[in-house]
Amino acid sequence: MIILGIDPGFQYAGFSILKKEGQRVFLIEAGFLKMSSTEPLHHRVAKFHDFFHAKILAHTVTDLALETPFLGKNAQNFLKLGYLRGILYLLASQHSLALHEFSPTQVKLAVTGSGGASKEQVAYVVLKLFPRLEQPKKADVTDSLAVSLCGIWQNKNLTAR
C-alpha cells in the first residue's frame, strides 16, 4: 500500500506519501504545494491537478486519504475547497485509487487519542512517529501526515518509521 494524504488548500496544499510494508510504515515524501493567491483560480486548480497527478504516477500510489471539510466562518472558501476535492475524486477514479475520507475528529482521535486535539498536538505526535522528519514550515504537512496515517491505520495499528 502506498497512500497519498492531502490537506487541500488554494494557497498551500500539504501532502504526504507513506508506504506500508508488512507491519511497518515508511515516510516516502512530505511537503506542500505553494500557489500564488494572485494567480487566477482556474490556473491554481490546474496546477493542483498536475502536481498531484505527477505524485501519483511517480510513487505508484494505491490509496488516497482526505479529511472531510467543515464549514468554517467563510462559506466561499468552503465552496472553493470543493473544486480541489473534485480534482482529487477525479484523480482517484482515473488511477483506480482506493479513496479514504475521515472527519477531523476521526483523524485527531486516531493520531493523538483525543478527537479534540489541537493542530499542535497532532503535529507533536506525527513528529514523534517520524523522528527523521524536521519540523515542517507549514502545519498542512503534519495535517496531511495525520490523514495518511489514519488511512493506513483504519484496519489496524502499524509501526511508523
Residues with catalytic annotation? 7, 67, 140
Closest CA to 111 of 76, 78, 80, 152: 152
CB atoms within 10 A of CB 153: 15
HSE-up (13 A, CA, CB side) for residue 43: 8
Closest CA to 109 of 95, 121, 91, 98: 121
Query: Pairing state of beta strands 63-67 and 159-160?
Result: unpaired
